[in-house]
Structure 1
Amino acid sequence: MSDAPPRSIPAGRVAGVDYGRRRIGVAICDAERIICSPLCVHQTIGDREADAAFFRHLATAEQIVGFVVGLPIHSDGTDSAMSVEVERFGGWLGRITGLPIAFHDERYSSREAAGLLAGVGLTRGRKKARADAVAAQVVLQSWLESQTPNERPQALEG
């Protein structure tokens, strides 16, 4: 992982990202960080400026305060071949949006996403199309659950 100290993500909406060379799954949570939902799958076309425009628009339109990027590591906790590429992507994402980036273990997120989609009445093609966004949701939910009570916004009492 990067040696640079991470900037913490302030209170507000966070986007989860499941990076892939062809498809990037995106999920978001509400401002209170209670509910995570799959949002979309961004198809990359090799045009970094188009990708940058997509993420800048996403950050503005959804009022995102930071991104959680799933980090692919082996089951023993060591970096995978994709880890460096994902860290490079996360650095780029932070630079082009000006928002803080957190990396979070994405082990088994695709498997969990497939399990979540298994019971849904979608065709195989539609499940495949949603899988990356659901994997991003799994990563984001796991990151939210990993935050200590002092770091998570407290629910308003009514």
Structure 2
Amino acid sequence: MAVSDETRTIAQPHSTLVRRGDRAIMAEIRALVVDLAVSQIVVGLPLGLDGDEGPAVVEARGFGAAVARATGLPVAFADERFTTRQAERSLIEQGVSRRGRRQVGDRVAAALLLQGVLAAESVG
């Protein structure tokens, strides 16, 4: 998970949400929404390399809809195709160990995804 600053300019890694069951994850998300004063949620879409929407995208869209119902907030979707690879490359360049990359990789990928959304919003 990643969050942005109040000006919606800079994204930063925050935490990793572990799906332990729908009720537990929705309760955790609702708590984070309150604690962090969240105004919008972005969910990554794991599109195929050719842009196809497979079963994982259907699941992500369903998850996003459930989050919208649980929080009452708007949920946007964004292409996450290359964020994991970009995060891995960045962490390697920073000298982060393989173990460290496993621990923070998803958070860094989420920050890259959110930064892309923020950049697109500032342009358009």
Please report the TM-score for the alignment, with normalisation by the length of structure 1: 0.73
- Matched AA of 1:71: L
1:141 aligns with 2:104: no
Alignment size in residue pairs? 124
| Counterpart for residue 129 of structure 1 | 103
Post-superposition CA distance 1:10-54 (Å, at most 9, x none): xxxxxxxxxxxxxxxx00000101111000111222x22211111
8 Å contact 2:9–2:119 — kept in the other structure?
no
Task: Give runs of aligned pairs for residues 7-156 of structure 1, distance below 5 A.
Answer: 26-45=1-20, 47-147=21-121, 149=123
Please report the TM-score for the alignment, with normalisation by the length of structure 2: 0.92
Which blocks of at least 5 consecutive residues in structure 2 are unaligned? none
Which blocks of at least 5 consecutive residues in structure 1 are unaligned? 1-25, 151-158
User: Percent identity between the aligned chains?
Assistant: 34
Q: CA RMSD in A?
A: 1.4
Moved over 4 A (4+): none
- Alpha-carbon distance, 1:64 to partner: 0.4
- Matched AA of 1:27: A
Post-superposition CA distance 1:114-150 (Å, at most 9, x none): 1111123433222101111111111101111112546
Q: Which has the higher strand share?
A: 1
- Matched AA of 2:105: A
Q: Which has the higher helix share?
A: 2
